[in-house]
A and B are shown apart, each in its own frame.
Chain A
Amino acid sequence: MIGALFALAAFGMALVWGVMNVINITQGEFVVLGGYVAVLLAENGIHPFYAILVAPILLYGIGWFFYQTIIKRVVDRDLFTSLLATFGISILLQQLMNQVFGADIRRAAHGYGTWGFFDGLVTVEQVKLLAAVAAIALGGVLVLFLKKSRLGQAIRATAQNARAARIMGIDTDKVYAATYSLNAAICGAAGAMVAMIWVVEPYIGLVYTIRAFMIAIIAGLGNLSGVVVAGLGLGVAENFAGFILGAEYQIAFVFGLLVVILVGRSYLLGRKREYLK
């Protein structure tokens, strides 16, 4: 169930990557920001579930802002420049959040209980179930949007061939802006749910970025169902690792897994004399 949120973030990352050829390291920070929205709402007496609507809107604006100021200028340059630029933004946001919100962990109180089955052997937190449902609903809306709406189709066209899209009259700049902002919004929604299920703190963003990246490369950029499966798989794997190795190893596990996946992939491709592009 946790994996559904990872899958959301991964989907957004794959979207930006596929359309604009930018690997958005800031992904995790957008998630955390969404989380803080939920926290702030909860602390001001509004039920954090509304954050699932509010956070995306706010994050859309934030994403749009960063696109216009920074991302726009690095889209056409080499991948490392855009990587470093988004990395810089992520550090900027991390430190900003640290200054504004403080370094303590925060969570959004939701007041949901748990359901017990089989006399308490299996417990399901209501909030997790609700979040999973919300994530699926959101995913469904996204897929529909991309398939049916004009902007969605423009996005897909640009992802396939930016030059052709431009010739057809699509304003690629607007598409890029929309894609990036949309991605930020997706992260915001996911983040709101994260704040309710776990905690947020300023430096937790990088782990989410790496998770999204891993899922995106395992599933492949265009493959939505792959993203979902990989996301769920990662969620399960992480839980498992945390259970077996102990909670303090969980973060090391995620990053270690990244290294293993990349090296493994590279080796397998190498046997065909190709390499990861």
Chain B
Amino acid sequence: MSMLLEVEGVSKSFGGVVANRDISIEVPEGKIIGLIGPNGSGKTTLFNSIVGYHPLDVGSIRFQGREISNLLVPQIARLGMLRTFQQTRIYGKMTCVQNMQISMPHRQSGFSQMFAKYPKEVTEKAESLLEFVGLFSKRHLMAGDLSFGQQKLLEFAMALMNDPKLLLLDEPTAGINPTLINGLIDRLKRANAEFGITLLVIEHNMRVIMNLAEHIYCLAHGEMLAEGMPADIQNDQRVIDAYLGAH
């Protein structure tokens, strides 16, 4: 089992506030890994560090064995690691299909590719992915006109369009109607099983993450608190205390 992502001893502070202290996690290829912790425990900061949004203070991050902590966001994205945003970010003044088209992988894009038109296959793939997330009938609408939940699905579809090897999902079920959550979990599992995409998921919804993840890391106050299989984490007293203590 090879490690797709290795985070080793990563620390990051902002001003005087320590957001992450000496965090280490491993994401094996093909798995679904969960990242939980009460609000303010540093989960999103860790995500931001991994995707290159800011430089690290200390530590190393390796993707497919290659050190990426000194790379820029677009470079890391082109290596095959994408993230979705907590607030859900899509291109509001373009149609859903266009959002998908522009999310094509940019890995081999040379200079001449900039001026090419999109071949039929791209549009077909875009439409089939939109179908996969249930947005096919809305494909020609402006992305900005969709509801929040629909935008989240679009963002997910866009990520799939980009053929990532590793997808970092920041609270994918936040703000979604509870009746639709099962559908989303199902799609995440299928993306992992059918498309072979490794997932690292931040979640607050315990039911979702216990159902989804094969291995879970729990952060609290910027540090690693516990890790293990869902059943173990659920019963871990430290984790329970951290959540209860946070309220």
- Chain B: CB-nearest residue to A272: B55
Please name the 9 residue pairs, one residue from A and one from B, whose CB atoms are nearest each other, closest first: A273-B54, A273-B55, A272-B55, A273-B53, A273-B72, A272-B54, A273-B52, A274-B54, A273-B73
**A-B pairs with CB below 8 Å: how many?**
9
Secondary structure of the B side of the interface? loop
- Chain A: CB-nearest residue to B73: A273
**Scoring A residues 119 to 135 as 1 if CB is less than 8 Å from chain B, else 0, what string do you get?**
00000000000000000
**Scoring B residues 44 to 58 as 1 if CB is less than 8 Å from chain A, else 0, what string do you get?**
000000001111000
Q: How many residues of B contact A (CB 8 A)?
A: 6
Shortest distance between the CB of A125 and any CB in chain B (Å): 46
Could you list 9 A-B pairs, sorted by A, with CB under 8 Å? A272-B54, A272-B55, A273-B52, A273-B53, A273-B54, A273-B55, A273-B72, A273-B73, A274-B54
Q: With a CB–CB cut-off of 8 A, which chain A residues contact B72?
A: 273
- Chain B: CB-nearest residue to A273: B54
Q: Which residues of B contact A (CB under 8 A)?
A: 52-55, 72-73
CA distance A274 to B55 in the complex (A): 10
CA distance A68 to B103 in the complex (A): 44
Q: With a CB–CB cut-off of 8 A, which chain A residues contact B55?
A: 272-273
Shortest distance between the CB of A272 and any CB in chain B (Å): 6
- Chain A: CB-nearest residue to B52: A273
Q: Which residues of A contact B (CB under 8 A)?
A: 272-274
Apart from A273-B53, A273-B72, A273-B73, what are 6 other A-B pairs with CB-CB below 8 Å? A272-B54, A272-B55, A273-B52, A273-B54, A273-B55, A274-B54
Shortest distance between the CB of B49 and any CB in chain A (Å): 11
Q: With a CB–CB cut-off of 8 A, which chain B residues contact A272?
A: 54-55
Shortest distance between the CB of A274 and any CB in chain B (Å): 8
CA distance A274 to B52 in the complex (A): 11
Q: With a CB–CB cut-off of 8 A, which chain B residues contact A273?
A: 52-55, 72-73
Q: With a CB–CB cut-off of 8 A, which chain A residues contact B73?
A: 273
Q: With a CB–CB cut-off of 8 A, which chain B residues contact A274?
A: 54
CA distance A272 to B70 in the complex (A): 11
CA distance A213 to B72 in the complex (A): 30
Q: With a CB–CB cut-off of 8 A, which chain A residues contact B52?
A: 273
Q: With a CB–CB cut-off of 8 A, which chain A residues contact B54?
A: 272-274
CA distance A273 to B52 in the complex (A): 9
Shortest distance between the CB of A141 and any CB in chain B (Å): 33
- Chain B: CB-nearest residue to A270: B72
Shortest distance between the CB of B61 and any CB in chain A (Å): 14
CA distance A272 to B14 in the complex (A): 12
Shortest distance between the CB of A80 and any CB in chain B (Å): 15
- Chain B: CB-nearest residue to A274: B54
CA distance A272 to B15 in the complex (A): 13
Q: With a CB–CB cut-off of 8 A, which chain A residues contact B53?
A: 273
CA distance A84 to B169 in the complex (A): 38
- Chain B: CB-nearest residue to A271: B55
CA distance A91 to B107 in the complex (A): 47
Shortest distance between the CB of B171 and any CB in chain A (Å): 23
Shortest distance between the CB of A222 and any CB in chain B (Å): 15
Shortest distance between the CB of A77 and any CB in chain B (Å): 16
- Chain A: CB-nearest residue to B72: A273
CA distance A274 to B54 in the complex (A): 8
CA distance A32 to B72 in the complex (A): 46
CA distance A228 to B228 in the complex (A): 57
